[in-house]
Every structure is written in C-alpha cells, then in structure tokens.
Amino acid sequence: MSMGPMIPPFGTQIILLLILLLYCVSRTCTCHGYVERKLRTRDGSVPVLVRLPEIDVCSKLRSLPRRSHIVSIDEFGGIGDGKTINTHAFQNAISYLSSYAHKGGGQLFIPPGQWLTGSFNLTSHLTLFLDKGATILASQNLGDWPVVDALPSYGRGRELPGGRHISLIHGSNLSDIIITGDNGTIDGQGQVWWELHANGSLDYTRGHLLELMNSRDVVISNLTFINSPFWTIHPVYCRNVLINYLTILAPFESPNTDGIDPDSSSRVCIEDCYIENGDDLISIKSGWDQYGMNYGHRSSKIIIQRLSGQTRSSAGIALGSEMSGGISNVYVVNLKLQHASTGIRIKSAQGRGGYIKNIYISDAIFHNVRTAIGFTAFYGEHPDDKYDPNAFPHIHSIYIENIQGDNISMAGDFQGLKGYPYHDIFLRNITLNATTTSQMWNCSFVEGYSESVSPEPCDELLRRQHTQEYCSSCIEKV
C-alpha cells in the first residue's frame, strides 16, 4: 500500500514555521526577496538589520531559449578575412531575423574568422552567437561609428559636449536579447580612439563596445571582450540583465576602459567574470548631476558574485561618480583583486544629489592594492555650470565584511562633506597587512562602527551613531 507524504498537524506546522523565522532572524538568510544580515552592536544592544535583494534575482535568465531560425553571417555576404567591411551584412542579417521575433526568435551565427564591421543594431528575440575562433572586429574608421544623441540622464556626452559615438553593438527598447558563444571575441581595436583622446582630437565622446538601452531580459555570456574604445559593456535603463562567464581585457594604460557599468538599471547579475583593464572593473552609475536627478532612474538590485581581475589606476568595485539618480540594494560577494588603486570605492560630489545606500560587500581578497576602501565626496567633474551646488549626495548604510589584504598602502580613506557625512558605515572582520608604518586610516565626516578590524580604524568608525534610524530606513521593498 503506497503512502502519501506525511503532513504534520496544523499546530506542528506553526511551531516549525516559528523555528524557521527565528533561524532567519539570527543568521544571514533569503526570505521573501531579501538577504537579511544581523549585526549586533559593540555593546550587544539592538542589532542592525541589513536587507538587500535576494541573491538569485537572475535565475530565470540562465536557461537560454532555443531559437526557431538560425542563419550565418556568411549567408548575407559576410567575409571573415579581417579586411572586408561587413556592416551591411550584419545589418541585413539582423533585419531578416527580426521577422522571426514572434515566431520563436532568430539566431545569427558567427563562424570562425575575423569579421570586420562598423556599428550595428540588434533586434528583440535575437541570439548573437560567436563560435570558437570567431572575432567581431571593430572598424577603426570613426565614420563607421555614427554620432547619436546624448543620454538624457547625462545631458551631453560623458567626455565632450554634444552627442556621442554609438557603441559597436547597440540596441534600444528591446527584449529577450542574448549575446553569447563558445568564447568568441569582440575586439574594439581601441588604440586609435585612445590616441585621439590623448591628443584632444575627438569631437564627440567615444563609443562603448556594447550598449543596450531601455531593454530587458538580456544575457551576455561566454565571450571575450577586448580593447574597447571607452566603457566596455554598458546596460543603461535596463532591467533583468545577466552577465556571466566573460573575460574583459584592455591595456592598463588605456583610458576609461571600464569593464561593466550598470547604469540606471535594476535586477542586474554579474557573475564569474575576469576583468583586466585601464579603469574600474565594475562601476555602478545612475546619471550625472541635474540630468540624472531629473531623469530619476536609479540603479538597484545589483548582484556581483565571483569577480576577479586587476587594474593599475582604478577600483575593483566602484559606485559613482555619476550617481544622481540613486544607487541602492547592491550585493557584492567573492571579489579577488590585485594591483589596483582602490579595492572598494564610492565616488560622489557636491552637486550630484542622489544617494548610495544599502550596500553589502563581503568575502574579498586584495593583493597590492593602494587603498583598500576609499570614499570621496570630491569627485567634482560636472557636465556644465547649470548644476545645483546645494544638491548634496546622501551616502549611508554601507556594510563591508570579511576582507583580507596584503601589500596594502592605506586601509581606509573617507573624505566626506561637512554637514552631509557618510553615516552608518559598518566594517567587520577585516584584516589588512600594510606595506608601510604610516597612517593607515584617513577619516573626515564619516560615522560608523567596526568589529574585528585590523589595523584598528579611526575613532569616527568606532562610534555607534544613527543605529536605530538605519534599522528603520533599511527596510525598503526591493
């Protein structure tokens, strides 16, 4: 006789539920879309509760759909000799596949070869697949990168007034986009752009290697991106983005070649990537001064896991400096960084407005990093003179734990604004081995507390301030 599942009596179910809830309260856990972390204050009083987005917000994107129609770029006249320009072949192939958008979607297959092209636009319900040995090679003719309007949250090009060069691979107002392969390569051939930037010969801001705007349900995976002219991967005003198993490379001296820059985007997962470049490995942004405040699109629910890499001039994880739309609910875990200027950096300025709050960073290893944790409120470049100098950034509720570092020159550098200090900064279980015996902490206008931190931080981070206010403010629906 078969037996069905044993269901405990109703009273027992209630007891089990209470036990589970108590367990969640006492430990880090995922409940109802939150990661909850309780940290008791130094005197054992009411604990601080950190609530952040659930870790697995991108699970639905990990199962790639099978497209109903597959074509190869060479069917549209593409020639992979590294010399023939294939812009029209890409444009025609994608235009053709757009007719399959509501018939299961289409896939553009890029076989082995060097496929030289100017900028091209994607379409919805599309997979761009680069086979092993396939390289999409960016044209070095600036005319093959058309100039488009500035982003509304920036008000102008990031480097120069006016518009900006479009990215090599671009998409706007799309859904269900997959850019993947068998470790194929997308090469921006950025040297010409870097030289023109250095000598001031550009008329417009450089283009990214890949930018998607106002799009959702995006997967970027299993590829190598190299030599971007500017920021490498830039999802802006996007939702539901999974970026995993990427290698991103650029020379250490290449200017502003950020790896991945989620910008005014939500539900973004970045996992299992290696980045080596000339700027921040990852920089989370949300618009620039009054343009970012007016546009009002925050970056939130961003998960970064198992990231490694190196950069000589910049940071492993950066938030800002363009953060005027707000940045919140960011979860970073398992970061391995070497040869960087800063491990974890927050950049803002008077005139930015916005906020950075509810940030959780854990389990990082730093080697040969000049400053392990650096916050500055004096990153003061502005798009124009129309910004409001009374728009002050609000930066608080930052939780950093389980950090180990060797060959560290400075443990922490906190440069806040008078009247608008960084507050509720929590440091726990951090051990940093110094390369010098000089001052390891620099603190101005910062409030917080620490536990098991070596070398011992400045007095401002030993205080217990605003704890109760933080407990109430951090319970934000994600």
pLDDT in tens, 417-476: 999 999 999 999 999 998 776 789 999 999 999 999 999 999 999 864 444 333 333 333
pLDDT at 59: 84
Whether 420 and 327 have beta carbons less than 8 Å apart is answered as no
Looking at every residue in the chain, the average pLDDT score rounds to: 88
SS3 186: strand
Interval 299-310 mean pLDDT:
96
Q: Residue 366 and residue 431: Cα distance in Å, rounded?
A: 10
pLDDT bin (cut points 50, 70, 90) of residue 52 is: low
CA 348 vs CA 243, 318, 353: distances in Å: 26, 11, 9
pLDDT > 60? residue 19: no
- Reported in sequence order, the residue ranges of 2-143 that DSSP labels E, i.e. its strands, are 29-31, 34-39, 48-53, 69-72, 106-110, 113-117, 120-121, 126-130, 134-138
> Model confidence over 193-238: pLDDT tens digits?
999 999 999 999 999 999 999 999 999 999 999 999 999 999 999 9
The amino acid present at 44, given as its one-letter code, is: G
Higher pLDDT, 42 or 382: 382
The predicted model scores a pTM of: 0.89
CA distance 464 to 201: 52
Active site residue 384: no
Dist. CA 319–CA 285, nearest whole Å: 6
**DSSP 3-state of 474:** coil
pLDDT at position 37 over 80: no
In tens, the pLDDT along 87-132 reads: 999 999 999 999 999 999 999 999 999 999 999 999 999 999 999 9
Among 176, 217, 279, 280, which one carries the catalytic annotation? Answer: 279
Q: CA-to-CA distance for 230 and 278, rounded, in angstroms?
A: 10
Mean pLDDT of 1-21: 43
pLDDT of residue 436: 75
Q: What is the pLDDT of residue 439?
A: 82
